[in-house]
Chain A
Amino acid sequence: MKILLVEDNPELTQNIVEYLEQQGLRCEAVTSRFEAEDRLLAYAYDCLLLDLMLPDGNGLQLLEWLKSNAIPLPVLIISAKNALDDRLRGLDLGADDYLPKPFHLAELLARLRAIYRRAKLGGKDELVFGEILIRIQSLEVFVHQTLLDLTKKEFDLLVFLLVNKNKVLSKQSIANHLWGDYTDNLANFDFVYQHIKNLRKKITAAGGKDYLSTVYGLGYKFDEYAQ
């Protein structure tokens, strides 16, 4: 999966590129609209990660440009301008999703994967990891061919953890992924632990390995190399 990132903040660019490449994605970064148009004309990408505030114009203009040049490309807008107008206009202009800054890198990856699945695989894909098989569209999880009885939240949590496997996911990023803005008002994230606990129980009960581990109170990790 090859990503083009259009973002003018070098630190943020570095964060994103590093994270995505560690997860096996190829990510190229440019800092301006002009450069982006250049790359898009020359190469094919699977997804465009677009910041709206660019030194040489608004990212929305790039969306219009894509449209007028008939380049079919899934777009994920990342912007600190959480103005509702921008969000709606972005989605109107054909962006696939809108992620307000500041976001969790794990959330970014999860959204990218979801967009990619929708755009390229029509949502009919399966995530396979060892004995675990996840059917995204039908919300089904099998461990050793046994169908697990998961709640929607547990399902989302498993997909989120698996997409970001081997990474420590902070409780906040998990809460944010599952409950969105609702977590803004919450004082603690104990409920994340509850879901992790339940999920772990259900997987191991079906004979799966205990992949989920706690990392010093920081967060949780789907550990590929768990014993």
Chain B
Amino acid sequence: MRLLNILTFIYLLLTLGALLLGGIFIYWKLESEIDFEVGMELNEQIDAIAERVRQGVDPKALENEKMEILPIPLAWEEEELSIRDTLAFHAPVNRLQNQLKASKSLKINGNHYRFSYFNTVIEAEDITETVLYIMGLVLLAQLLAIGFFYRRIANRILLPFHHTLAKIQTFTFQKDQPLSFEPSKIQEFELLNRFLEKMSLKLLKDYRQIKEFSENISHEIQTPAAVVRGKLEHLMNQEITEEQAHLIHSAYQSNEKIQRIIKSLSLLAKLENEEFEAPVPLRLDELTQKNLDFLQELIQLREIRLEIDLKSGLTVPMHPYIAEVMITNLLSNAIKHNHQKGWMMVILRDQQLEIINSGHPLSKNTEDLLERFQKESSHPDSVGLGLAIVQQICKTYGFRFSYSTRDEVHHVVVNFG
């Protein structure tokens, strides 16, 4: 939800609440004010009639449908003015109507009369209607104000914020440009911008350091590892006993493993640092077929039954090297962790690449296997970075990667959509 919409919504909600409370208050106030005024008016009417009785006019002659004069015993106390709602027959409209009845008794010329004066009241519905009508008008005015002024003003106030957002979105490490913002007159935005500027500088610095580190570590370890390999290869060519050969073999294997780990880790670091820009459109069917051709001997050696369906001419923008790494890792995993005389299916359809293969049931769950250095331990020479690399590649390019197993069937899906 947009910030402006939230603000508008809250403003509207508050306005409605205020109007509701105001309406109730106005209704209540209006009603009591009317009752009071009507009461006063009736009182004056009664007083005027009483005056005429005092002057000697026959009370009977003064009675009409609005005025009732009832003689009551003289001994009774004089009654104060009382006003009550009552139902009474109203001649003009010829029906019972809610009426206001004001009555008080007065002792005049030795007689005691109770004067009751009826008057139609303004009905509650009428008041409600009026109040609602007024409140409706006010609400309409508010809405117009919100629509024309409030949103416009709020938008203008939020404008620097939107600028900031747009700038952050264009920030990439590849450009190597720290964020910089126009000064803002609003203190909070100014604070935010300065903070973001500082943060982007720090991010770029850290990024450069990590990048250098990953480049250096690969170089610094590869060189001695290369030296070790060379020395061992020389040693292999000396006159050696079988026992020495085993020692050399172990050392050689371990050194090879170090090199593979370093290579994989530096690839992962580069992927995380998004160092592989400039993707080119790649035909996945061709790439997969090429990789399968390369791995064909391994498939034959393990006597794996291969089914392929690469009819989809799906093109994906990727760095060619990375695409190759991804496909090789997936395919060689399916071969490596397969049974002798197992089967595998490679399907490229719609927007996704599916690799399904037979293999040993997993002892770990699939989520764990995507972590670095996690592996089904049967292969001592396997580093356990293959799937982590594939996952990182998918993350970098925004592909969806899933890996599931059911008993002896392993199912990998990369969705490029």
Whether A83 sits at the interface, judged by CB under 8 Å, is yes
Q: Is the CB of A80 within 8 A of B223?
A: yes
Chain A's interface size range is 35 or more
Residue of A nearest to B331 (CB): A185
Given contacts A12-B227, A191-B297, A191-B298, A218 and B248 within 8 Å (CB-CB)? yes
Whether A42 sits at the interface, judged by CB under 8 Å, is no
Residue of B nearest to A78 (CB): B226
Q: Which B residues lie within 8 Å of A81 (CB)? A: 215, 219
Q: Which A residues lie within 8 Å of B234 (CB)? A: 15, 18-19
Which residue of the partner chain, among A102, A173, A216, contacts B226 with CB atoms under 8 Å?
A102
B-side interface residues, number (CB < 8 Å): 44
Q: How far is the CA of A15 from the CA of B227 in the complex (A)?
A: 7
Which residue of the partner chain, among B252, B263, B380, contacts A184 with CB atoms under 8 Å?
B263
- A residues sitting closer than 8 Å to B (CB atoms) are 9, 11-12, 15-16, 18-19, 22, 53, 80-84, 101-106, 153, 167-168, 170, 172-173, 179, 181-182, 184-188, 190-191, 194, 215-219
Given contacts A186-B332, A217-B245, A80 and B230 within 8 Å (CB-CB)? no
Q: Is the CB of B249 within 8 A of A194?
A: no
Q: How far is the CA of A142 from the CA of B295 in the complex (A)?
A: 28
Q: Is the CB of B328 within 8 A of A181?
A: yes
The 4 closest A-B pairs by CB, nearest first: A15-B230, A102-B226, A216-B245, A185-B332
A180 to B: closest C-beta gap in Å: 8
Could you list some 16 contacts between A and B, CB below 8 A?
Answer: A11-B230, A19-B230, A84-B321, A104-B233, A168-B236, A170-B252, A173-B233, A184-B260, A185-B328, A185-B386, A186-B332, A186-B336, A194-B301, A215-B245, A216-B245, A216-B249
A-B contact count (CB 8 A): 108
- B residues sitting closer than 8 Å to A (CB atoms) are 215, 218-219, 222-227, 229-231, 233-234, 236-237, 240, 242, 245-246, 248-249, 252, 256, 259-260, 263-264, 294-295, 297-298, 301, 321, 328-329, 332-333, 336, 379-382, 386
Q: How far is the CA of A84 from the CA of B270 in the complex (A)?
A: 12
Q: Is the CB of A187 within 8 A of B236?
A: no
Given contacts A81-B219, A186-B298, A11 and B227 within 8 Å (CB-CB)? yes
A198 to B: closest C-beta gap in Å: 11
A197 to B: closest C-beta gap in Å: 12
Q: Is the CB of A219 within 8 A of B301?
A: no
Q: Which A residues lie within 8 Å of B263 (CB)? A: 82, 184
Residue of B nearest to A182 (CB): B294
Q: How far is the CA of A191 from the CA of B112 in the complex (A)?
A: 131
Q: Is the CB of A153 within 8 A of B297?
A: yes
Residue of B nearest to A193 (CB): B301
Q: Which A residues lie within 8 Å of B298 (CB)? A: 186, 191
